[in-house]
Amino acid sequence: MNKGHSSLFQVYLRLRPAASNNSGERFLAVEEDEEDAAAPTKVTLNPPNDRRRAVEKFGFTQVFEEDASQLDVFHCTGVAPLVEGVVAPHGGDGTDALIATLGVTGSGKTHTMLGSKTQHGMTQLALDLIFRSIKSNVVDCFSSPSLESSINASDASEANIIAAQSFCDNVYGDPSGPRNSSRAQTPMLVGTTPSHTPTHPSIRSLYPVLRFLSPSSPTSVRLVGHPSPLLSRGAERPVQGDLADPFATHGSSSPKLAPTTPKRNKLIMKNDKSNLHFMKATNAAKQKTKQQNSFTKTAGNVKGEHLAPPSTPRKQLLQRPSVLATHPDISGINVSCDPSAEYAVLISMYEVYNDRIFDLLSPPVRMHATKELRRRPLLFKSTEQSPDRKVVAGLRKIICTNLKEAVMVLEAALHERRVAGTGSNSVSSRSHGFFCVEVKKRPRGRHNLPWTGSQLTIVDLAGSERAKDAKTAGATLAEAGKINESLMYLGQCLQMQSDAGNSTKPNVVPFRQCKLTELLFSNSFPSPSLTQSTSRRRNPQKGVMIVTADPHGDFNSTSQILRYSALAREITVPRIPSITSTILQGGPPPTQTYQHGQIPSSPPLPSSSPILLHSRPFFPPGVAPLPSQSPPRTFSPASETMEFAALEISRLHEELEESRVLCAREREDRIAAEAHLESFEASIEDKMLDLEMAIRDEVAQEFEERYSLEVLRLQNHFQQEQERNEVHMNRKIEALGRGLGAYDDGEEEEDEDKENVLKENLEEENKRLRYEIEVMKRELGLMAPETDKRRPLAERDVSGASHAGSMREKEGRSPKKERRGISEKNGAGDRDGGLNKKMAGLRVNDGGRDSGSSVGSVRTGSPTKKCRKLAQRRLEEDDF
Ligand SMILES: Nc1ncnc2c1ncn2[C@@H]1O[C@H](COP(=O)(O)OP(=O)(O)OP(=O)(O)O)[C@@H](O)[C@H]1O
């Protein structure tokens, strides 16, 4: 039956004690193991109130009954060997380990993993063991200032690595104030410091409770419960967990206090301002508070010590935890470390919510489009530095040097985890929580070598639930759908692995169906052969699954979870007894047994089944069993017919029963499918919203970029245009200037033209006049005596004039009368004289024009004026 050793996960079953208010019938029975009575491995699931349903039996690596303590679970699940594998005392990188819990809501997963106010869970116990084992070899940011940067350089997950003190300074507030409760309050330690109490003031402020303790105080611790602000408002309520935990031993214990950080006056820490926003009211926090408030109003029930966190006002910081629970005490358990190595521990925590990964230690970021504070989902992928195994990229990792710091980081992360009040659990986890402890190591003093190491992952899965029982609606119902869906896939993977353990055929585990199974199983297989010589082949991780169940809880949900997770399974379908056989033998009817969820079919499996059969006679309702001592009867034909009929009835009953089993299974599948559909719708909506916001962001950004580019372009264009205009204007002015100059030239040309025209006119005039003169000369020649004709004109003119004067004198006529006489008689002498004068004037003009002075005078004057002058001169000449 114990087939877990060949599986990827060891699967343990833990039964929780009945809650005080639970009066349900117990349907789970632990089978006493004949071979090893000390450790039961099987349970039988007896359907309550319906004796016709199949009885199922499940096998696990080990079953923890209700009275098993946290320490029992710690011991028997092998947490210490897992821690040893991670610490790797014999050298090498070590082996990754994973401890997960799976179960119906309220079955005790968180209690097992994170404990309560009075008891440590597996997480704190594992942390305690790790820090105690590496205590003397741990490096901190005080002793090694380059620690952060060296770890950063060798980290394969693009993480944001900071020191615990820096983180805690930003996340936790005034140590003297009342402490805020968180979803799962981790147990605190009250105790005295060992002799090496930190002396630095900042260390004292980190450990406020410890600063008043004298170094001589004993190193003992005691348990202290924190009064919750919620409880302190009224009378303190009885804590269900405390009442329900009858086997919680509060004995004195004396574990050593976690090693405290030495001893430097100067803190070399990164002060991450972004942490100031760490506790801003996120949507999850708001929803969490709303739901819790409404639930506590109606239900008034508190889930153990795990009180709902109060609303997280903006920039409100958490109260520093001052004490740690010390129970159970594991100081006697030790794991050795690699003496040649120095160690550093990195803590990170994330949740898988609606199939997406969210960092619980990073502050939410404000969305560009909606201005809402939201966490950004992270990717689970192989990176350049880690080609052989997938890592969650971009997580915030905190370097812790002792248990106290690690617990404070855990507490801060839990405060951010999504929880809600449901009908099944007043503080129900709505996400799968992953708490990771990376133990980094490198050879002592070899600061140039990279950090290697392994990781312990502790997973607190969200519980499966039925909407009817949980009374969920809206977003919480959709969350439940998503949770159930991921658990269904996990169940398929677990079933595959257990099938693989049973058969010789290799079975592929379909772990890529959702984020949860990817995270749980991706690193469970040997890494593929690597081509890069730098990468080393890693050991596949070791896995432990603790299935929690409430034997008085919901039968259907529990049976479903057990069916998924059990390493071995056997169904016993009660066979309908033949009336004949009952009559004849009076003994119990036979049963049919099926293994590993096979659909019942005849013939039944041989009785050599490895699982013990839990057989029970079946009697149809109203039919009472006959006593086995009944005497044999004689049979008549009628009784034979009766027997035949009874056989037929019995066969039909059998078929009916088989159909019932099938029906039940189908119903469950349908419910799971419906839940899947619901959650799918919700997640689609969510994704659409995310997508819309991302697109809005992108578009807004692009718009802004384009807008600024366009503005720049327009500015450039405008400038160019201005420059062009200026050039154009300058050119215009130049052209105008040139144009004005051209006008002057034109004027000159025009003047010249006019002058030429005038010259031509004058020449023509000249010609004409010459012609007239010629004509007149001829006329005169005709009129004058022969001698006079042969004389030159000038002589004749002069002589003519003198002759005319002598004639006038002779005749005694005055020149006036003479002139009048000439004009009256149209005298030729006058005319001839006028023409000569004209010619002389023209000659003068021509000569004047030829002379430079006269040219200059003409050129300088305006052509119009010149024309006017010329015309005037002519007129004067004419008048003359
Ligand atoms: N083994 C146990 N001993 C004592 N108390 C227990 C045990 N298991 C569970 N409880 C109590 O039962 C209550 C519910 O347990 P818990 O919160 O661990 O359930 P859960 O499975 O984590 O639920 P969910 O999935 O809704 O988060 C708590 O008050 C817890 O203290």
Q: Which residues of 423-434 are buried (b: 16+ CB within 10 A; e: fewer)?
A: bbbbbbbbbbbb
| 66: pLDDT strictly greater than 70 | yes
- Candidate from 321-330, 355-364, 575-584, 645-654 with smallest mean pLDDT: 575-584
481-537 per-position pLDDT tens digit? 778 888 888 888 887 776 665 555 556 777 888 889 989 888 777 665 544 444 566
Strand partners, 441: 343, 452
- My answer on whether 710 and 820 are in the same domain is no
Q: What is the extent of the structural domain holding 807?
A: 762-879
Kindly state whether residue 109 falls inside one of the protein's structural domains: yes
Contact 267, 299 (CB under 8 A): no
Contact 208, 176 (CB under 8 A): yes
> What is the DSSP-derived secondary structure letter of residue 575?
P
- Candidate from 380-394, 723-737, 779-793 with smallest mean pLDDT: 779-793
User: Residue 123: its pLDDT value, please?
Assistant: 93
Q: Is the CB of 244 under 6 A from ligand 1?
A: yes
ipTM of this predicted structure = 0.97
Q: Is the CB of 463 under 6 A from ligand 1?
A: yes
Q: Give the residue with greater pLDDT, 129 vs 155.
A: 129
Q: Is the CB of 85 under 6 A from ligand 1?
A: no
Kindly state whether residue 580 falls inside one of the protein's structural domains: no
**Domain C-terminal end among 745, 761, 777:** 761
- My answer on whether 771 and 796 are in the same domain is yes
Count of other CB atoms within 10 angstroms of residue 258: 23
- Candidate from 1-5, 488-492, 671-675, 690-694 with smallest mean pLDDT: 1-5
- My answer on whether 187 and 336 are in the same domain is yes
User: Residue 614: its pLDDT value, please?
Assistant: 32
Contact 16, 66 (CB under 8 A): yes
User: Residue 230: its pLDDT value, please?
Assistant: 29
- My answer on whether 788 and 729 are in the same domain is no
- My answer on whether 248 and 307 are in the same domain is yes
362-411 per-position pLDDT tens digit? 888 887 777 777 788 899 988 887 777 788 998 999 999 988 889 889 98
How many residues in total does the chain contain?
880
Atom of ligand 1 nearest to the CA of 460: 22
Q: Is the CB of 150 under 6 A from ligand 1?
A: no
Cα–Cα distance measured from residue 288 to residue 419, given in angstroms and rounded to the nearest whole number: 6
User: Residue 474: its pLDDT value, please?
Assistant: 58
pTM for the whole thing?
Answer: 0.56
Q: Is the CB of 109 under 6 A from ligand 1?
A: yes
679 is in an annotated binding site: no
Cα–Cα distance measured from residue 465 to residue 472, given in angstroms and rounded to the nearest whole number: 10
Distance (Å) from CA 118 to ligand 1 centroid: 13
**Domain C-terminal end among 499, 519, 549:** 549
104 is in an annotated binding site: yes
Q: Is the CB of 328 under 6 A from ligand 1?
A: no
State yes or no: cis peptide before 328, omega within 30 of 0. Answer: yes
276-293 per-position pLDDT tens digit? 344 343 444 444 444 444
User: Residue 34: its pLDDT value, please?
Assistant: 65
Q: Is the CB of 66 under 6 A from ligand 1?
A: no
Distance (Å) from CA 303 to ligand 1 centroid: 7
Distance (Å) from CA 69 to ligand 1 centroid: 13
- My answer on whether 776 and 853 are in the same domain is yes
> What is the DSSP-derived secondary structure letter of residue 452?
E
Q: Give the residue with greater pLDDT, 7 vs 331.
A: 331
SS3 content of the chain, % helix, strand, coil (to 5): 45, 15, 40
- My answer on whether 131 and 173 are in the same domain is yes
Mean pLDDT, residues 36-42 taken together: 76
106 is in an annotated binding site: yes
Mean pLDDT, residues 579-608 taken together: 45
**Domain C-terminal end among 761, 781, 805:** 761
Token pair of 29 as six digits = 């029975």
| 349: pLDDT strictly greater than 90 | yes
Residues whose CB is less than 8 angstroms from the CB of residue 319 and which lie 6 or more positions away in sequence, other chains included: 172, 173, 174, 175, 177, 178, 179, 180
Q: Is the CB of 110 under 6 A from ligand 1?
A: yes
User: Residue 328: its pLDDT value, please?
Assistant: 83
> What is the DSSP-derived secondary structure letter of residue 361?
S
Kindly state whether residue 21 falls inside one of the protein's structural domains: no
- My answer on whether 814 and 728 are in the same domain is no
| 860: pLDDT strictly greater than 90 | no
433 is in an annotated binding site: no
Distance (Å) from CA 108 to ligand 1 centroid: 3
Kindly state whether residue 3 falls inside one of the protein's structural domains: no
Distance (Å) from CA 420 to ligand 1 centroid: 14
Residues whose CB is less than 8 angstroms from the CB of residue 62 and which lie 6 or more positions away in sequence, other chains included: 12, 13, 39, 40, 41, 76, 77
Our measurement of the distance from residue 599's CA atom to the centroid of its chain's CA atoms, rounded to an integer in Å, reads 45
Contact 671, 474 (CB under 8 A): no
103 is in an annotated binding site: yes
| 39: pLDDT strictly greater than 70 | yes
Count of other CB atoms within 10 angstroms of residue 541: 25
Distance (Å) from CA 565 to ligand 1 centroid: 19
Q: Is the CB of 543 under 6 A from ligand 1?
A: no
- My answer on whether 371 and 419 are in the same domain is yes
Distance (Å) from CA 110 to ligand 1 centroid: 6
Give the highest mean pLDDT range of 304-308, 330-334, 453-457, 579-583: 453-457
Total domain count, the chain:
3
For a mutational test of ligand 1's pocket, the pick from 12, 13, 16, i.e. the residue with the most ligand atoms closer than 8 A to its C-beta, is: 16
Kindly state whether residue 22 falls inside one of the protein's structural domains: no
Q: From atom 15 of ligand 1, which residue's Cα is the shortest distance away?
A: 108
User: Residue 143: its pLDDT value, please?
Assistant: 76
- My answer on whether 815 and 709 are in the same domain is no
Give the three-class secondary structure for 331: coil
- My answer on whether 716 and 768 are in the same domain is no
> What is the DSSP-derived secondary structure letter of residue 528?
P
Question: Which 3-state string (H, E, C) describes 426-460?
Answer: CCEECCEEEEEEEEEEEECCCCCCCCEEEEEEEEE
468 is in an annotated binding site: no
Residues whose CB is less than 8 angstroms from the CB of residue 638 and which lie 6 or more positions away in sequence, other chains included: none
401-440 per-position pLDDT tens digit? 988 889 889 988 888 877 655 555 555 677 889 999 999 9
Q: Is the CB of 115 under 6 A from ligand 1?
A: no
Strands in 137-236 per DSSP E: 160-163, 190-191, 221-222
Q: From atom 4 of ligand 1, which residue's Cα is the shortest distance away?
A: 245
Q: Is the CB of 106 under 6 A from ligand 1?
A: yes
Distance (Å) from CA 422 to ligand 1 centroid: 14
For 314, list phi and psi in degrees, rounded to 5. Answer: -60, 135
Kindly state whether residue 209 falls inside one of the protein's structural domains: yes
Mean pLDDT, residues 156-181 taken together: 73
705-716 per-position pLDDT tens digit? 999 999 999 999
User: Residue 384: its pLDDT value, please?
Assistant: 80
Kindly state whether residue 32 falls inside one of the protein's structural domains: no
Atom of ligand 1 nearest to the CA of 184: 17
For a mutational test of ligand 1's pocket, the pick from 73, 110, 565, i.e. the residue with the most ligand atoms closer than 8 A to its C-beta, is: 110
- My answer on whether 812 and 675 are in the same domain is no
> What is the DSSP-derived secondary structure letter of residue 445?
T
Atom of ligand 1 nearest to the CA of 419: 27
Distance (Å) from CA 596 to ligand 1 centroid: 29
DSSP code per residue over 811-851: HT--HHHHHHHHHHHT-HHHHHHHHHHHHHHHHHHHHHHHS
Atom of ligand 1 nearest to the CA of 461: 25
Q: Which residues of 735-774 are buried (b: 16+ CB within 10 A; e: fewer)?
A: eeeeeeeeeeeeeeeebeeebeebeeebeeebeebeeebe
For residue 454, give the CATH number of its domain. Answer: 3.40.850.10
What average pLDDT does the structure give for the chain? 68
Helix 637-783 / helix 474-502 crossing angle, nearest 10 deg: 120
Q: From atom 23 of ligand 1, which residue's Cα is the shortest distance away?
A: 106
Unique residue bearing structure tokens 């991780």? 541
For 694, list phi and psi in degrees, rounded to 5. Answer: -65, -45
Kindly state whether residue 589 falls inside one of the protein's structural domains: no
- How confident is residue 864, by pLDDT bands cut at 50, 70 and 90? low
- How confident is residue 774, by pLDDT bands cut at 50, 70 and 90? confident
Cα–Cα distance measured from residue 613 to residue 607, given in angstroms and rounded to the nearest whole number: 8
Q: Is the CB of 240 under 6 A from ligand 1?
A: yes
91 φ/ψ sector (left φ>0, alpha ψ -120 to 50, else beta): left
Q: Is the CB of 241 under 6 A from ligand 1?
A: yes
Token pair of 677 as six digits = 């559909």
| 684: pLDDT strictly greater than 70 | yes
Contact 609, 591 (CB under 8 A): no
Atom of ligand 1 nearest to the CA of 425: 26
Token pair of 737 as six digits = 């200037």
